[in-house]
Amino acid sequence: MASTVYDIARAASVSTTTVLRALWDKDDIKPETKERILKLAAEMNYRPNLVARSLTLGSSHFVGMLVTPSVTTTYASSIGLVVRTVRKAGYGTLCYTTDGRPDSERMCLEQLASARVAGAIVIPEADTKNVPIYQEMADSGMKLVVAHSCIDGLNVPQVVGDNYQVTYLSARYLLSLGHTNIVYLAIPQDCLLGRERARGFRDALQEAGIPVSPASIVTCGNSEEAGRKALTALLQRKKAPTAIIARHDSVALGVMRAAFAAGLSIPDDLSLIGNSDIPVADLLRVPLTSIRHPAEEVARTAITKLVSMLGGAKIELDITKLGVELIKRASCAPAKE
């Protein structure tokens, strides 16, 4: 099968050390010997066994990547980015996605630990219930960086868009259009990210002198289906909202579907703002106003941090927030009357 350094050594009638010296292009080896060995290695189709190398070196040349299924599509480009960037740094990427089951996240992390990955980038659900597991892994020496999300109290570097601004900018814009009955389809507030979003929403309303009723923050799942159901429920209210801020574009798509199904016009009857600015946002039946995150910069920053951690650098265990931007499109209009 695959040839080994030992095979080459035998074929060249030298020791394995000499073979290594040739392969690693050292200079304490006679040029002719080197050449002869290199030629032999090529002929014998030698490919270093990274498994053995990892064992010897004590750490694999892989970094792990853990992505939650509900965001897989959103961050597909991040996956590619991570894969390619870490490859430049000499690492392969071990990908895991959880299937959403409670301890699936734990199993994936244990796998990564077992595989002795050098480090890992994780894109968890904002309201993951597995914070202790992450912390445990980090404490046991795994280099961890959280991207596109942030987890309260987790003592590792985290890189994320500014979630306070997500709702603050959205709400401000809707207020400037004259809306007062705005509902925010929210991330649960039992996690930092959820609280940041809620705070941005509340602050904007309060600054405008609009009282924030609990009914204006409706916790919602992170899917089209959840958005659909949420709007359907909202339309039952005696005073249905005139504007919606959806926690994510996919939720906004669900809202759109439900609105159309109910015979409502967007933006005439309902203004709508999403979040994350999916690529087709401007080609939708009603082009969707959304918050654009610097997704690439987030990924890049996270990877940079990870790579320098791998290099042994001490990194600030803080949360890096990158600016977001409101992209105005046709899904919002001035409030009527």
Partner DNA sequence: ATGAAAGCGCTAACAT
Partner DNA sequence: ATGTTAGCGCTTTCAT
> 275: how many CB neighbours lie within 10 A of its CB?
28
**30 sits near DNA (criterion: CB under 7 A):** yes
| From the list DNA, its own copies, none, partner contacted by residue 29 (C-beta under 5 to 8 A by kind) | DNA
Ramachandran class of 25: left when φ > 0, alpha when ψ lies in -120 to 50, beta otherwise: left
CA dihedral sign of residues 79, 82, 84, 87: negative
Comparing CB distances to its own copies, the nearer of 96 and 164 is: 96
CB of 190 to its own copies, least distance (A): 26
CA dihedral 129, 132, 138, 142 (to 10 degrees): -70
- DSSP assignments along 93-121, one per residue: EEEEE--S-TTHHHHHHHHHHHTT-SEEE
Rounded CA-CA distance 305/295 in Å is 15
Among 9, 41, 79, 160, interactor with its own copies by CB under 8 A: 79
| From the list its own copies, DNA, none, partner contacted by residue 317 (C-beta under 5 to 8 A by kind) | none
Rounded CA-CA distance 195/219 in Å is 12
Among 25, 58, 102, 336, interactor with DNA by CB under 7 A: 58
Rounded CA-CA distance 152/187 in Å is 14
| From the list its own copies, DNA, none, partner contacted by residue 80 (C-beta under 5 to 8 A by kind) | its own copies
| From the list DNA, its own copies, none, partner contacted by residue 21 (C-beta under 5 to 8 A by kind) | DNA
The stretch near its own copies (CB under 8 A) out of 19-27, 58-66, 127-135, 203-211 is: 58-66
Q: Are 298 and 314 in contact (CB under 8 A)?
A: no
**261 sits near its own copies (criterion: CB under 8 A):** no
Interacting residues toward its own copies by CB under 8 A: 1-2, 45, 47-52, 54-55, 60, 62, 65, 67, 69, 72-73, 76-77, 79-80, 83-84, 87, 92-97, 99, 108, 110-111, 113-116, 140-141, 253, 256-257, 278-280, 283-287
